[in-house]
Structure 1
């Protein structure tokens, strides 16, 4: 005997009011390029054409704007925390007051973008182009030098330390960083000059042990032969006095080549 089985049926749930509002905001921004203070959190806007869009105060946390065209966009006070703008075009965009905590701006084009000093300090902007130096704080400039040095890009590291020193000439740690980067490139005389000046700065601060180590390393570098071309690796290209200089600098480098907190 067959048993009757009761099957209950319920209609599929309607989209929540919140989801409907977010969907409407996405449609609005794509069609009108205007959505001030609207909620676009987690929105998928990959490669979206948002040139000259009015997005002042918009909520764009975790939104995916990778490859989007945002040239001339008004993003003042927008919350872009943890959003992806990797490879996006932000030429001439206004980012004043924007929240950029954890924002991925790698490989983005920020040529002409309006950014407050230090506005990018908590974002990821490696290999982004067009960022004006004025948009970077001293710590950002110095830390960019450290990052380049740690990745073996010593000429680039030297340039970042140059900018850091121009911003804060009495920052001994940046003189050390530039000296180490120059030493890695075989520019031993110039490296020795940087380390000697850093020693003077540390001495004025009362850090005699640091000052003496730097002065000793600088003196040894002036006695070292030039680095042969084709070397790769800290100390491997130096012989004699130069190796002794790097041995002295090793613990100092481990201490000074750390990012500066913001």
Structure 2
């Protein structure tokens, strides 16, 4: 008994679990757990293990009952050889691992926040998705380490060697480097940009920034030509006047980014998220916008989309006013709520049976387009230009085509019921098989005399001149119409009722 009347503690022998004679674990000793051991007790065990064996540290720790995934937190493991440790998901918060050997270690998903890794060898280690927030990695060897998706916010990397490191998707907010930090191109520049440090050199051509997190980064006028930006997060970034021509932006996130006057010519924007982005006056000519890209609420005013390929693009509530879409390939677009006033669709390629109803196309240019079964019902197409367009079974019912140019248009089986054609120019238009019932015209509507007579007949207007000779009235429904006294000599009436 001790002087206090309590039995003496056998902490050192019980927790070290060593047999003095054999220098091997006492097999009768039961494994201990962190809940039973204080930090001091765990440190004493670690210190004894370091004295016993430098090469089998982790193995001996487990034999004694320590769980490296939880029992090393806040301990001093400086200089320990943990290569090639398997510590996936381990809690190493606040551990002193300075000058330790962790080369080839598996530390993915490990928590190393506030850990001291100064002068530690982590070469070829796997730190994928690891948390290194506020860790000290001064002069650490991080060559060829996998840091993809790791959290390096406010991490001290002064003098560290990161040559060949994988930094895809890494979090760099507040990361500290100095002139001695060794980084591959272009990460020193990216760190400067990310941490709002002044840098005049924004030449990032051919850079591999796959999955990088660059939210709110200032990349104004940056040269990112031919860069790999697939799956990069540039939401809220300033890319005004940046050069992104031929860049790979597959599946990139650019929500609310500023891309005004940016050059995206021939870039890969497949499956990109540009919702809410400012693309005013941007050059997207020949860009690949396939894979259902999201451009909802994007500003594409005066943007150049000529020869671009938009497949499944979501342009809901987007602004396309004065945009250039000449020769663009437009398939399965979502344009609900979009503003397309004065947009240039000349020679653009449209899909069959798309829905362009209830959209503003005021002053838009559709010259020379071929449209089949497109629905423009209830859309505003006033002042639009359809000259020499080929429009088969297009639905213009209830659409506004006031003062539109429809010269030499082919309107085979088009639906013009209740369409407003006041002041529209339809000279030379082919209107055979067109439904004119309820169509609205006025004295300023330029219409071939024969078709004005036919319009009058279909809309029960009084007309004395019923000379319809040589007219093509194929597939017209004259049921209930008054054709008394009409001249139908040489008139084509095939499929008419």
Q: TM-score, normalised by structure 1?
A: 0.54
Structure 2 residue 310 is matched with structure 1 residue 65? yes
Match of 2:288 in 1: 44
Structure 2 residue 475 is matched with structure 1 residue 184? yes
| 116, 119, 126: which one aligns with 2:362 | 116
Q: Per the alignment, in what secondary structure is the counterpart of residue 75 of structure 1?
A: coil
Give the drift of 1:18.
Answer: 5.4
Q: Per the alignment, in what secondary structure is the counterpart of residue 65 of structure 1?
A: strand
How many corresponding residue pairs? Answer: 190
Write out per-residue CA displacement over residues 6-39 of structure 1, whole angstroms, 9 at most, x where no aligned residue. xxxxxxxx69975552245955473443222222
Larger helix proportion of the pair: 1
Kept in 2: contact 1:63–1:84 (CA 8 A): yes
Trace 1:128-167 onto structure 2 (pairs within 5 A).
128-131=374-377, 132=379, 133-135=399-401, 139-140=405-406, 143-146=409-412, 148=414, 154=433, 157-159=434-436, 163=439, 165=441
Write out per-residue CA displacement over residues 60-112 of structure 1, whole angstroms, 9 at most, x where no aligned residue. 11111122111111111211101112321111111122211112234332233
Kept in 1: contact 2:286–2:309 (CA 8 A): yes
In terms of Rg, which structure is larger?
2
Match of 1:174 in 2: 451
Q: CA RMSD in A?
A: 4.4
Structure 2 residue 301 is matched with structure 1 residue 56? yes
Classify 1:73/1:79 alpha carbon distance in 2 versus 1 (closer, same or farther; 3 Å).
same
Classify 1:53/1:143 alpha carbon distance in 2 versus 1 (closer, same or farther; 3 Å).
same
Q: TM-score, normalised by structure 2?
A: 0.31
Q: Which structure's relative contact order is higher, taking Cα pairs within 8 Å and 6+ residues apart?
A: 1
Q: Per the alignment, in what secondary structure is the counterpart of residue 85 of structure 1?
A: strand
Distance 2:373 2:474 in 1: 25
| 300, 322, 329: which one aligns with 1:77 | 322
Unmatched runs of 5 consecutive residues or more in structure 2? 1-205, 208-222, 228-243, 255-268, 380-398, 416-429, 456-467
Give the drift of 1:55.
Answer: 1.5
Distance 2:409 2:305 in 1: 27
Write out per-residue CA displacement over residues 137-193 of structure 1, whole angstroms, 9 at most, x where no aligned residue. 5553983534659x9993xx123x863756727641424676767663462773847
Unmatched runs of 5 consecutive residues or more in structure 1? 1-13, 197-214, 222-232, 239-262
